[in-house]
Amino acid sequence: MNILYLPIYEPGAHHDVQRTNKHGLRDALAKRGTVTEFDYVAPPQAQVMPELIGLIESTQPDLLFLQLQGTDRVTADDLHRIRENYPALTVVNWNGDFWPEHLTSPDMLALLDNVDLQMVINGSVLPVYAELGINARYWQFGYETATRELPDVPAYDVVFLGNNYSEKRAELYKVLRSLPYKVGIYGSGWPESDGQCTYDFAYGEALYRKAKIAIDDSQWPDAEGYTSNRILQAMYAGCFVLHQYVKGMGRYTDLWASVHYAEFNTLEDLPQAVDKWLTHDEMRGIIASTGQRAVTECHSFDERVNQLFDEFLPAVRHE
């Protein structure tokens, strides 16, 4: 099988870091066929479609795997012309982001009329797609593995890896800094950060391995099944995760509160939850081990790609 893969690497300071370290999906797809990667965000807008068409003609892909989060680089008309000219091509899009206003915008819905399968990590938009006859499935991240040796890092009681880009994150910062424990906060945009390791999965894994508790917030708790890859990275490293409530988390991910991780509801509840779990070493260790086993066995990108090829695509072809 020939696969043409269009990953989304955010422009800016982390672009090259992402291309190096976000390798899990690319590697998993390569176990199913020959993968040609096209970084569609990098070229000037005018060059995107000529380069994409040239790659389709030269590689003759069976599967076009897109990561389009908008229609600014590839439009509905662009994709329609591709489908007309290459009718045997299977087209899949995966949007690994939250924003329902982008997932269901008129332009995006028009584009999705030209895909065989749309995959999302925000399960709340699936009823909208179903009503419009768009073939869609929930498809979560897999964990990324380190591409270098793990560095020597500080040990924390509580650690949070993420960027400050909202009022809720600013509130989380205040709560974490108020805790009477050794707290590490890594990322950009914080009033005071302990370091920067965005997309550096080796550094992140090292931090999680040494920490007693990894915090994972939920800024949109009613977005069904929506969570970032943070929980997977922390659990893969064997860290105990204290995750804010997410509607339908277990149903969508098969990761369950009090079994694979612990849960808190609001930021006001977080200090008490941290106090509780730092005094329960044995139970914390049991939950962390259970979570690590579940993530390692069921949440790799290999398993995600197996689900795509063995479950989703056969159903698409049948329909």
pLDDT greater than 70 at residue 319: no
**Main-chain phi, psi angles of 82, to 5 degrees:** -60, -45
Separation between Cα atoms, residue 124 and residue 258, nearest integer Å: 24
Q: What is the pLDDT of residues 147-184, one digit of tens each?
A: 999 999 999 999 999 999 999 999 999 999 999 999 99
Domain parsing of the chain, residue ranges: 2-142+301-318, 158-298
SS3 content of the chain, % helix, strand, coil (to 5): 45, 15, 40
pLDDT greater than 90 at residue 288: yes
Average pLDDT over the chain, rounded to an integer: 96
Residue-level pLDDT at 300:
98
Determine the number of helices (DSSP H) and then strands (DSSP E) in the chain. Answer: 15, 11
CB-count burial class (<10 Å; 0-12, 13-18, 19+) for 231: buried
pLDDT band at 193 (very low <50, low <70, confident <90, very high): very high
**What average pLDDT does range 69-79 have in this prediction?**
96
Strand, coil or helix: what is 185?
A: strand
Separation between Cα atoms, residue 178 and residue 156, nearest integer Å: 15
Residue-level pLDDT at 13:
66
CATH class of the domain whose range is 158-298:
alpha beta
Residue 157 near residue 215 (C-beta atoms within 8 A)? no
Residue 62 near residue 313 (C-beta atoms within 8 A)? no
The CA distances from residue 209 to 21, 155, 301, in Å, are: 19, 9, 21
pLDDT band at 318 (very low <50, low <70, confident <90, very high): low
Q: What is the pLDDT of residues 231-242, one digit of tens each?
A: 999 999 999 999
pLDDT greater than 80 at residue 120: yes
**What average pLDDT does range 199-209 have in this prediction?**
97
User: What CATH number should be reported for the domain whose range is 2-142+301-318?
Assistant: 3.40.50.2000
Q: Is the dihedral of CA 224, 229, 232, 235 positive or negative?
A: negative
Separation between Cα atoms, residue 7 and residue 64, nearest integer Å: 11
**What average pLDDT does range 198-227 have in this prediction?**
96
Residue 136: count other Cβ atoms within 10 Å of its Cβ: 24
Do the domains 158-298 and 2-142+301-318 match in fold? yes
Residue-level pLDDT at 12:
73
Return the structure tokens found at 238: 């064997």
> Percent of the chain, pLDDT > 90?
94
Q: Where are the alpha helices (DSSP H) in 149-200?
A: 167-178
Separation between Cα atoms, residue 306 and residue 269, nearest integer Å: 38
pLDDT band at 16 (very low <50, low <70, confident <90, very high): confident
pLDDT greater than 80 at residue 228: yes
Fill in the DSSP letter of residue 250: H
> Percent of the chain, pLDDT > 70?
99
Residue-level pLDDT at 19:
87
Separation between Cα atoms, residue 48 and residue 42, nearest integer Å: 9
